[in-house]
Amino acid sequence: MDWNFIPLAFGQIVSPLTIGYALAALGLAVHFGFTGLLNFGQAGFMAVGGYFFAITTVKFDWPLWSSLIACVVGAVLFALLLGIPTLRLRADYLSIVTIAAAEIVRYTVKTPAISKFTGGSDGINGAGRDFYAMNPIPEGQYGFGVLTYNNNQLWSIIVGWAVVLIAALLVWQLMRSPWGRVIKGIREDEDAVRSLGKNVTWYKMQSLILGGVLAALGTVLIIIPTSLQPDNYGTQTTFFLYTIVLLGGATTVFGPILGSIIFWIVLNLADGVLSILVLNHLVPITSIQQGPIRFIIVGIALMILVIFRPQGILGKKREAQFSE
Amino acid sequence: MVKALRARPALLRVVLALLAFALAAAVFVFATPSAHAAPNSGGVPTVDTTPAPADSPQSIGIWVRVAADKSNVPNISVKVTGKGVTQTVVTGADGKISVPLAKPGTFTIELDTASLPEGLKVLGDNPREVTVSTGNQGVPGYFLLGTGDSSVVPSATASPGAGGSSDSGSKSSESLADRVLPRIATGLIFGLLIALASIGVSLIYGTTGLNNFAHGELVTFGALTGYVVSGVLDMPGWLGIASALVLGGVFGYVQDLGLWQPLRKKGIGLIPLMIVSIGLSLALRYIFQFIFGPDLLITPNNQTAVLNIGPIHLRGTDISSPIICIVVLLLVAFALLRTRIGKATRAVADNRSLAAATGINVERVIRIVWVAGGALAGLSGALIGYYQPVSWQTGASILLLIFASVTLGGLGTAFGALVGSLVIGLIVDLSQAFGVPSNMKFVAALLVMIIILIFRPQGILGRKDRIG
């Protein structure tokens, strides 16, 4: 039997998906955990950021720094677009509008009419051009056994985790600041904060922008070492992020990062174990049936987490009521 | 509550008038010679398995698979002939190839038997004909390969897109009415199908406050039940529809009994409940895929037209489905307005504590709402199975349209859901008549929803005090 899947699963700690999802989940924690915004369109923020970055880099040949600015601007515009009509309304309106907007983004980028820019259903490759050109690490293979990376992969891992840690520190400091106390106050009792003279809608908008920008940058970390595929940003991506956030602790800063690591390791371990069982005919399912099982696991895990441990691994129960 | 009941007779008239209009419009459009497209030539969302090429108005999606394990077969050469086209294409690594067509018409697809893997032959007809109407993208030409005899496989071209539609020549010869009227018909029918599911969402929202993201899976459940009963067990179609209705109700009952009622008792907030429904939706959706596989499933349907008026060829189900919808919707409207339990339901939706104080058993009302919501969603799913091939994600793909309908009509108002559904159905189909590409039709509906939310957040029939 091939046991390589075990080190490979733990190698997920440095995979682009784990790093990118950690950042996007941190953004979602800002929305959902700290502010109480029910954003079901985080995948939309990710897609917008990814496309702004990839199109400006690959199709317009912009340098890295200006593509990054474009990516941030895209996320801010998307947040304003979603926030202005819905932030005044009840929480469920935001959820419906955001999930719809995320799907609009996905359908739109797949439209053949604009595939000259978006690449249609195939997406965009090669967004890492300038990023790799800046790579100071000498060429070669680094690591051991099955976990060996070339200099470019190593470069994106180092930069990726550095970005995640800087973002986490930033969010941590922000949430300790007066601004963060207002944000958490909105989660606990919006009307009380409003009665103190704070502009609740504007604070919510700032939170939506901050979390959205984090999600957009998370996508950049994913698509630099891989590629940009529109169908990777469907509704299930948002649901994965919710599972990650609730697993680690929605009201904490390091919870989403821990959640992302655990999520991808567990998912890959489960896949590996299943593959072995299926290949050796130890369970009566076909290899086609193996695919959906990871999603069934995620769905059930999400339900169990919300019902029995809404505060996640790191959170405090007191903070995780999420009452309206 | 009293206020709510008093306010309703006007609503009743609106709703009855609307249903009558829908019925009349459906009959009118069916009877109009220019309405020559079947109610599904693009009206109902098709699962996005065959991406259409960018530049041609029509296309055929060819997909070759082995019947036994559903594995895709690459490198099969396929010849497409008809309407001045003679083209030989080769299937890709996923067993699929899309053939762009400049003009609509009837085409012959033939698999080159010499290029088949050894020991396999084509099940079903080869060569076979498919009909492509104006604007149809990815009309399925699916082939299954196997070793057995060919009688077990239903004709894989029995697709809605090809079903009862006749080709209409080039676009330039069509008048505006020619393009718009069929779309109105398909839009209204699609709207009625969504309405069945939307009313459940709206009632559950109204009585419990829960935005049920797992409602799409109730629709899928009904669609798959219909497929199993009439497709796998070879029972008559009405039995499939009836069992989808009944089992859908049972599914709703079980869900409330086993999950939602305990969670309500536990005092879990609405937002966590909504996330639970998302987890449930994800789990159920992939359990369906685990059982039924990732493929499109075709509910057997009599493809012969029973009604021919000029160029129109209507199948029996094209006429009976909207009638079933309208009858059921009228029954629901009657139950809500005239029966004790219906009045109790509206009372609970209006003010739960007040309803409980007047002696209404709120939990019992909610249980009944879940059963009714499940049954209506199941019925909706089974009927959708007669318009398009169903799959594990049939319900998930229309969930957002259901939400759009409910939001458009006003969250928590049953009749608003009906109005919203008809509007959404019309937008989805009419947008295509006015040049919106077919893969953007959902976008049109979702955009309209967002725009409505900006200007009238309570929806068409909602009340302002509920949205704050």
ipTM over cut 0.85: yes
Question: Which CATH number belongs to the domain containing residue B101 in this structure?
Answer: 2.60.40.10
Q: Dump pLDDT digits (tens) for B169-209.
A: 344 455 666 667 777 877 888 899 999 999 989 889 888 88
Judge whether A52 and A188 are in contact, CB under 8 Å.
Answer: no
Closest CA to B375 of B238, B272, B211, B251: B251
Q: What share of chain A is helix, strand, coil (3-state, %, to 5)?
A: 75, 5, 25
Q: Mind listing the pLDDT tens digit for each residue in B207-222?
A: 888 889 999 999 999 9
Cβ pair B411:A92 closer than 8 A: yes
Are B198 and B322 found together in one domain?
yes
pLDDT in tens, A51-91: 999 999 998 989 999 999 999 999 999 999 888 878 877 77
Q: Which of A136-150, B106-120, B315-329, B350-364 has the lowest mean pLDDT?
A: B106-120
In a domain, B397, yes or no: yes
Number of domains in chain B: 2
> Is B380 within a domain?
yes
Last residue of a domain, one of B159, B188, B211: B159
Of B53, B293, B440, the CB nearest to A111: B440
Q: Above 60 in pLDDT, residue A152?
A: yes
Count how many Cα atoms sit within 13 Å of the Cα of residue A122 in the half-sphere of its side chain. Answer: 12
Percent of chain B with pLDDT over 70: 72
CB pairs A-B closer than 8 Å = 151
**CA nearest to B367, candidates B288, B269, B229, B264:** B264
Of B289, B400, B450, which is closest to A292 when you measure between CB atoms? Answer: B289
In a domain, B53, yes or no: no
Pairing between β-strand B77-82 and β-strand B128-132 as defined by DSSP bridges: unpaired
Angle (CA) A214-A321-A193 rounded to 5° is 75
* Domain span including residue B110: 58-159
What letter represents residue B307's amino acid? Answer: L
Q: Tell me whether residue B33 is in a domain.
A: no
B191 plus B337 within the same structural domain:
yes
Neighbours of A231 (CB within 10 A): 12
Q: Are residues B104 and B245 in the same domain?
A: no
Give the CATH number of the domain where residue B329 resides: 1.10.3470
- Residues B168, B106 contacting (CB under 8 angstroms): no
Q: Is B439 on the interface with A (CB under 8 A)?
A: yes
Averaged confidence pLDDT in chain A: 89
Residue B255 placed within a domain: yes
Same domain, B364 and B235: yes
Closest CA to A286 of B292, B121, B147: B292
- If pLDDT is split at 50, 70 and 90, which confidence band does B453 have? confident
B359 and B453 in a single domain? The answer is yes
More confident residue, B302 or B446: B446
The pLDDT, as a whole number, for residue B148 is: 52
Residues B152 and B190 reside in one and the same domain: no
Q: Helix, strand, or coil here: B142? A: strand
* Mean predicted lDDT score pLDDT of chain B: 75
pLDDT of residue A275: 86
Whole-number pLDDT of residue B40: 38
Least trusted range by pLDDT, from A124-138, B235-249, B444-458: B444-458
Q: Are residues B219 and B142 in the same domain?
A: no
Q: Dihedral of the CA atoms B4, B5, B11, B15 (nearest 10)?
A: 120
Contact state of B439 with A111 under an 8 Å Cβ cutoff: yes
Contact B457 A93 (CB under 8 A): yes
B103: CB partners within 8 A, 6+ apart: B58, B83, B84, B85, B170
Q: What angle do CA A279, A280, A281 make, to 5 degrees?
A: 90
Q: Are residues B211 and B293 in the same domain?
A: yes
Beta strands in B213-331, from DSSP E residues, in sequence order: 307-309, 312-314
Q: State the pLDDT confidence band at B61, using cuts at 50, 70 and 90.
A: confident
User: Which residue from A minimizes the CA distance to B401?
Assistant: A100
Chain B positions touching A91 (Cβ under 8 A) are 271
Of B97, B129, B159, the last residue of a domain is B159
CA-to-CA separations, B213 to B6, B352, B378, in angstroms, rounded: 32, 22, 15
The more confidently predicted of residues B301 and A305 is: A305
Neighbours of B261 (CB within 10 A): 16
- Min distance B316 CA to chain A CA atoms (Å): 33
What is the mean pLDDT of the segment spanning B439-466? 76
Chain A residue numbers with beta carbons less than 8 Å from the beta carbon of B467 are 89-90, 93
Among candidate residues A268, A289, A211, A284, the one with its CA nearest the CA of residue A36: A211
Select the highest-mean-pLDDT range: B21-25, B55-59, B304-308, B441-445.
B441-445
> Would you place residue A48 in the very low, low, confident or very high pLDDT band (cuts 50, 70, 90)?
very high
On whether both B145 and B247 belong to a single domain, the answer is: no
Chain A contacts of B258, Cβ < 8 Å? none
Confidence of residue B135 (pLDDT cuts 50, 70, 90): low
Residue B40: inside a domain, yes or no? no
Are residues B106 and B210 located together in one domain of the fold? no
Per the domain annotation, does B173 fall within a domain?
A: no
B153 and B207 share one domain:
no
Residues of A in contact with B69 (CB under 8 A): 286, 288
pTM: 0.77
Whether residue B279 and residue A246 make contact (CB cut-off 8 A), yes or no, is: no
Report the pLDDT value the prediction gives residue A1, as an integer from 0 to 100. 64
Residues of A in contact with B400 (CB under 8 A): 99-100, 103
Domain boundary pick from B159, B187, B211 = B159
- Whether B117 and B225 map to the same domain: the answer is no
Q: Is B269 on the interface with A (CB under 8 A)?
A: yes
Residues of B in contact with A310 (CB under 8 A): 272
Residue A123, C-beta contacts closer than 8 angstroms, at least 6 positions apart? A54, A227, A228, A229, A230
- Residue B52 in any domain: the answer is no
